Amino acid sequence: MTTHTLSPRAPKRLLPAVISIVLALAVGAIGGLATASSVTSWYVTLTKPVFNPPNAVFGPVWTTLYILMAVAAWRVWEVAPAGPVRRRAITLYAAQLGLNLAWSLIFFGLRRPDLALAEIAVLLAAVIATAIAFWRIDRPAGLMLVPYAAWVSFASVLNFAIWRLN
């Protein structure tokens, strides 16, 4: 396992970090638009399990997770030399980000918890693969994805319960 550190010039290179954060938050915002269209109408009509968090929890949790994943991606970009290892890690990151958006569009936009359940299984696998790829390049970056993997695991169980109850 290789551990790299950020170079001393990294604090001077904030633009890639800002771009990474803006990109991740933009994906979250687009997903939020799909969610907003259903959360006060269709979603409230669903039977939910007792462990369903209050709606107010989701925004702060997702914002924190998007920032963590963006900083992790930025760290990988900064510490890994250009080449196939960095390209693979960033490609996995982009794929899981796309899958993350797709879940919101499927669950809330299409109002299809059944299809979203299949999709979130793929998302979870992509998040874990990304965390492993990041860990091999930069351990803090890999660790930054652990809360995300835990939340997507919880969301998978929640998605399953909502599908089953409805």
Q: Where are the domains of the chain?
A: 13-165
Identify the CATH assignment for 13-165 out of 3.30.565.10, 3.90.1150.10, 1.20.1260.100, 3.30.450.40: 1.20.1260.100
Q: Note the pTM of the prediction, 2 decimals.
A: 0.89
Q: Mean pLDDT throughout 32-49?
A: 93
Is the predicted pLDDT of residue 94 greater than 90, yes or no? yes
pLDDT of residue 4: 57
102 vs 59: CA distance, rounded Å:
17
Alpha carbons 120 and 122: distance in angstroms, whole number? 5
Token digits of residue 70 = 């963006």
Greater confidence, 98 or 3?
A: 98
User: What is the band of 37 on the pLDDT scale with cuts at 50, 70, 90?
Assistant: confident
Dihedral angle at the C-alpha atoms of 158, 38, 19, 139, nearest 10 degrees? 0
